[in-house]
Amino acid sequence: EIVLTQSPGTLSLSPGERATLSCRASQSVSSSYLAWYQQKPGQAPRLLIYGASRRATGIPDRFSGSGSGTDFTLTISRLEPEDFAVYYCQQFGSSPYTFGQGTKLEIK
């Protein structure tokens, strides 16, 4: 099983700042099969990024993804108030399709 470790656990930033979230895999994951989701309280996750760097439909261009192998990054260039949420990475490279434990992005 591929273990995904996200860091930091909590990130405290202000609107307008840049956020950098990390997802590290216990073994190499094809970048084609790494996705990022945003989840707000009481809601289902929403797909942000797939294939490590492709934005899903309707996702603003302030969200970007990068990385390969075992190290992946989600960057939010300028935080908007609605971006404060929990973010998860997920790999589809091998079953079980594991999630990271999440990074909570909170308002400073």
Partner 1 sequence: QVQLQESGPGLVKPSGTLSLTCAVSGASISSSSWWSWVRQPPGKGLEWIGEIYHGGSTSYNPSLKSRVTISVDKSKNQFSLRLSSVTAADTAVYYCARRLFSSSWSIIDYWGQGTLVTVSS
User: Would you tell me which residues interact with partner 1 (CB under 8 A)?
Assistant: 1, 32-33, 35, 37, 39, 44-47, 50-51, 54, 56, 88, 90, 92, 95-102
Of 15 and 53, CB closest to partner 1: 53
Contacts of 9 (CB under 8 A, 6+ apart): 101, 102, 103, 104
Is residue 83 classed as helix, strand or coil in its secondary structure? helix
**74 sits in which H/E element:** strand 63-76
Q: Which pair of tokens denotes residue 101?
A: 């434990």
Comparison of 51 and 73: residue with beta carbon closer to partner 1? 51
Closest contact distance (angstroms) between CB of 66 and partner 1 is 16
Shortest distance, position 30 Cβ to partner 1, whole Å = 9
Residue 94 C-beta: closest distance to partner 1, Å = 11
Taking the least distance from each CB to partner 1, the nearer of 14 and 34 is 34
Contact 10, 20 (CB under 8 A): no
HSE toward the beta carbon, residue 50, CA cutoff 13 A? 8
- CB of 15 vs partner 1, minimal distance in Å: 25
